[in-house]
């Protein structure tokens, strides 16, 4: 299950269908993690948030910026080149500081992703014509004014008639140090963090229209780095990531060269890694992003 459970206060459920490409499934039919993120954009943003009166705050330069992404697949095979269905909800929330003052406002999105099961692999007792859940996605978005002067970017209240300035639901972000901690029930395979075999160098192919590296690029590159680490430790490298949590602190840009620090661990369901990306020698608190990624057997 996702580490984040939210109670929607906008009420609407958005549904969107989208086709899978040949490269979206692994050889065993599992949906790859990055595919799930499309459900957040299509079901949550396009079908719920964009149609809500509060979304008009973008005209004031206020935008929800992705701060954390959690993706998780179910151990169920999907039909090749089938259609996925995302069913999403949107939550507004606020965070408070140690003095109980409003510190940040959030738009959080949660989506379940469904697909037709692969023929011959329909779960016992299930209707073969019925969609089954193959994954879940969660996106934490912080309201900010990204194009305003630095001192004016923080958003601490809405100014929309008919809606409270501060959402009632309270939410607390995890710290980067919590994201990169080896799970309490895990056995560490390494005593400490160490650098990936090669630095990460970003090119234009890694960027998007937001003028920086796309959020899903980190997921793919962390998975590549984790597989290299498993091979170095003589662990099974023929594995697929089943769950990832990425926390974004600072964007990366084309031309940058950064160092990925990783530490591998083992739990009963498989191996995993925790890690962070930053300039050489930077502590995790100054990292561009942090990750926890779990693989299956």
Q: Supply the CATH number for residue 203's domain.
A: 3.10.129.10
Residue 67: what are its φ and ψ, rounded to 5°?
A: -115, -20
Cα separation, 84 vs 248, whole angstroms:
27
Asked whether residue 193 is assigned to any structural domain, the reply reads yes
**Does 19 share its domain with 147?**
yes
Phi, psi (degrees; rounded to nearest 5) at 30: -75, 140
Q: Which residue range is the domain that position 278 belongs to?
A: 176-295
- In this prediction, residue 7 carries a pLDDT of 41
In angstroms, the Cα distances linking 96 to 25, 100, 102, 127, 169 are 41, 5, 4, 46, 11
Question: Is 90 contained in some domain?
Answer: yes
| pTM listed for this prediction | 0.91
- Position 82 in a domain: yes
Strand 83-96 versus strand 200-201 pairing type: unpaired
Q: How many domains is the chain partitioned into structurally? A: 2
Q: Which stretch of DSSP H or E encloses residue 46?
A: none
Q: Residues 138-190: pLDDT tens digits?
A: 999 999 999 999 999 999 999 998 889 999 999 999 999 999 999 999 999 99
169 assigned to some structural domain: no
Q: Check whether residue 63 and residue 186 sit in a common domain.
A: no
Regions of the chain where pLDDT drops below 50: 1-9, 120-121
Examine the fold and report which residue of 97, 118, 152 is the final residue of a domain before the chain moves on: 152
CB 43 within 8 A of CB 107: no
One domain, residues 22 and 145: yes
The C-alpha atoms of residue 71 and residue 62 are separated, in whole angstroms, by 26
pLDDT score for 123: 54
């Amino acid at each position: 299950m996702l580490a984040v459970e939210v109670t929607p206060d906008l009420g609407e459920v958005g549904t969107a269908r989208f086709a899978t490409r040949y490269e979206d499934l692994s050889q065993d039919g599992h949906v790859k993690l990055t595919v799930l993120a499309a459900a957040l954009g299509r079901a949550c943003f396009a079908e719920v948030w964009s149609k809500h009166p509060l979304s008009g705050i973008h005209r004031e330069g206020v935008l929800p910026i992705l701060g954390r992404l959690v993706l998780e697949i179910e151990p169920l095979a999907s039909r090749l080149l089938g259609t996925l269905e995302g069913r999403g909800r949107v939550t507004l929330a606020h965070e408070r500081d140690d003095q109980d003052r409003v510190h940040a406002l959030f738009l959080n999105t949660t989506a379940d992703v469904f697909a037709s099961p692969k023929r011959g692999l329909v779960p016992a007792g299930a209707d073969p014509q019925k969609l089954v859940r193959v994954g879940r996605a969660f996106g934490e978005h912080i309201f900010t004014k990204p194009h305003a002067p630095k001192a004016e970017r923080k958003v601490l209240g809405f100014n929309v008639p008919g809606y409270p300035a501060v959402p009632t639901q309270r939410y607390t972000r995890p710290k980067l140090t919590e994201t990169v901690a080896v799970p309490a029930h895990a056995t560490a395979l390494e005593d400490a963090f160490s650098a990936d075999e090669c630095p990460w160098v970003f090119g234009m192919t890694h960027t998007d229209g937001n003028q920086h590296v796309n959020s899903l690029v980190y997921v793919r590159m962390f998975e590549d780095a984790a597989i290299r680490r498993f091979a170095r430790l003589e662990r099974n490298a023929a594995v697929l990531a089943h769950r990832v949590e990425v926390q974004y602190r600072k964007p990366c840009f084309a031309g940058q060269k950064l160092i990925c620090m990783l530490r591998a661990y083992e739990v009963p369901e498989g191996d995993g890694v925790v890690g962070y990306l930053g300039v050489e020698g930077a502590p995790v608190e100054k990292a561009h992003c942090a990750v926890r990624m779990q693989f299956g057997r």
